[in-house]
Amino acid sequence: MTREDRPVQKAPEQTAATLIELAHLGSELCAALAPEALKTVLLRQFMELFDPKEFLLAWREPKAVSREPCKVFFSSLTVSTLWPVGAPLPPADYVLNLAKEAKEPLIYALSELNAGNLPPRLKAHAEGALIVLPLRLSGRFCGFAEILLPEELLTNEVLKNAFLAAYACFMAIAIKNSQAFASTNMLAISDDCTTLYNARFLEKCLEDEVSRAVRYDHPLVCLFLDLDYFKLVNDNHGHLNGSYLLQQVAIFIKKFIRRTDIAFRYGGDEFVVLMPETTKHGGQKAAERLLELLKSEVFYTLDKKPLNISASIGVAAFDGQMSGDELLSLADKAMYYVKEHGRGAVKVE
């Protein structure tokens, strides 16, 4: 083969620049461990690399056998109105199935695709180019990126398969890392038995909520709840059933409280609920209603034997000056008053 017959190759300087850019993009992605931080980096990189009209990134855990649906991890504003973060994509989604079958990045002009197959998020666009980046880890499909951009940008050097494939690898690794980071953080602040927040996280939340109440001059209430005669459950039914009852009570509390309230397992059979934007009177009414429903609820042992439980509940309202620890201590004091005077009631400090 003569020199003239050899295929034209990129100059070493151009190849080196592309590799440096990829390394920079990858290091940025993988350094953003928190999911929200990663989404901020992705948004900036997408805008710089693709200048997209719309985009969507979907993800599922890359298990060997997974029936778990792909869920939206990140999307542009317009797409998010139809497909908010966490929304599962239907198994028949056209782009999802293209990505599942693809071994490398796909680039289409929308005009090349059958409009009847396109999902609603793409049907609104008469023209443009569609990039589909399959995301894989260890060869297993774990999601895809869908990027819609003006057709004239298809000549961009960035849109070469090798570059896009490498970028997709970095994205997959970064998303997996961010989810592991979020899971680890959740384990650090969650109670193992009930999955409610733990006492360690209560300290931080008390500090945050008290600061917010002071800053905006808003009310704040703390409920301290202790299950009555819980020791008898352990003595009569065993500790496994005791733990199972705690799990059921935690689910009951989570269903009862508002989205703005925060529930914690303080320790043993004690629970705490922080209620922002709640007055002392409102906290008392909420505690009385919680106790009424708790007493009427039927819980069960592991072998389906029914159990009934009551509680002693202390209520304390933030006075505008006390610390978070003082607020908690006041609710704890009120709870102990109930325990010493018959149990199964509510006391407001």
324-346: per-residue pLDDT in tens? 999 999 999 999 999 999 999 99
Q: What's the confidence (pLDDT) of residue 121?
A: 86
3-state class (DSSP) for residue 282: helix
| Residues 164 and 26 reside in one and the same domain | yes
Q: What's the confidence (pLDDT) of residue 126?
A: 74
Asked if the model's pLDDT at residue 7 lies above 90, the reply is no
- The residue out of 146, 162, 186 marking a domain boundary is 186
More confident residue, 76 or 5: 76
Q: At what angle do helices 199-216 and 161-189 cross, to 10 degrees?
A: 90
Q: Which residues form the domain of 165?
A: 10-186
What whole-number distance in Å separates Cα of residue 87 and Cα of residue 72?
Answer: 5
Please provide the average confidence, as pLDDT, over all residues in the chain.
90
- The residue out of 151, 186, 221 marking a domain boundary is 186
On whether residue 49 sits in a domain, the answer given is: yes
Q: What's the confidence (pLDDT) of residue 187?
A: 86
Record the tokens describing residue 18, joined without a space.
């592309």
| Residues 99 and 247 reside in one and the same domain | no
More confident residue, 302 or 185: 302
User: Residues for the chain: how many in total?
Assistant: 349
What whole-number distance in Å separates Cα of residue 264 and Cα of residue 242?
Answer: 17
| Residues 212 and 177 reside in one and the same domain | no
| Residues 50 and 154 reside in one and the same domain | yes
On whether residue 1 sits in a domain, the answer given is: no
| Residues 114 and 45 reside in one and the same domain | yes
| Residues 170 and 298 reside in one and the same domain | no
| Residues 204 and 315 reside in one and the same domain | yes
E runs forming strands in 43-95: 54-59, 71-75
Asked if the model's pLDDT at residue 32 lies above 50, the reply is yes
> Average of pLDDT values for 80-101?
89
H runs (alpha helix) in 4-104: 12-31, 35-49, 77-82, 94-101
Q: What's the confidence (pLDDT) of residue 11?
A: 53
β-pair partners for 59: 71, 143
Q: Over the stretch 247-272, which tens digit does the pLDDT of each residue have?
A: 999 999 999 999 999 999 999 999 99
Record the tokens describing residue 127, joined without a space.
């023209």
Output the furthest CA–CA distance in the chain (Å, rounded).
101
- Are the beta carbons of 79 and 55 closer than 8 angstroms? yes
On whether residue 225 sits in a domain, the answer given is: yes
CATH code where residue 312 lies:
3.30.70.270
Q: What's the confidence (pLDDT) of residue 232?
A: 96
> Average of pLDDT values for 182-210?
93
On whether residue 271 sits in a domain, the answer given is: yes
Asked if the model's pLDDT at residue 8 lies above 80, the reply is no
| Residues 204 and 169 reside in one and the same domain | no
- Are the beta carbons of 109 and 91 closer than 8 angstroms? no
| Residues 176 and 230 reside in one and the same domain | no
Number of compact structural domains in the chain: 2
- The residue out of 160, 186, 212 marking a domain boundary is 186
Question: By mean pLDDT, which of 104-108, 126-130, 250-254, 311-315 is the weakest?
Answer: 126-130
On whether residue 330 sits in a domain, the answer given is: yes
On whether residue 241 sits in a domain, the answer given is: yes
- Are the beta carbons of 71 and 58 closer than 8 angstroms? yes
On whether residue 193 sits in a domain, the answer given is: no
- Are the beta carbons of 64 and 71 closer than 8 angstroms? no
| Residues 136 and 261 reside in one and the same domain | no
| Residues 328 and 226 reside in one and the same domain | yes
CATH code where residue 135 lies:
3.30.450.40
- Are the beta carbons of 66 and 57 closer than 8 angstroms? no
Asked if the model's pLDDT at residue 92 lies above 70, the reply is yes
- Are the beta carbons of 144 and 96 closer than 8 angstroms? yes
Q: How confident is the model at residue 112 (pLDDT cuts 50, 70, 90)?
A: confident
What whole-number distance in Å separates Cα of residue 14 and Cα of residue 26?
Answer: 18
Q: Over the stretch 134-185, which tens digit does the pLDDT of each residue have?
A: 999 988 999 999 999 888 776 665 667 888 999 999 999 999 999 899 888 8
Residue 318: name the closest of 288, 291, 278 by CA.
278
> Average of pLDDT values for 232-237?
95
On whether residue 194 sits in a domain, the answer given is: no
More confident residue, 6 or 318: 318
- Are the beta carbons of 285 and 291 closer than 8 angstroms? no
Record the tokens describing residue 150, joined without a space.
């003006």
| Residues 118 and 151 reside in one and the same domain | yes
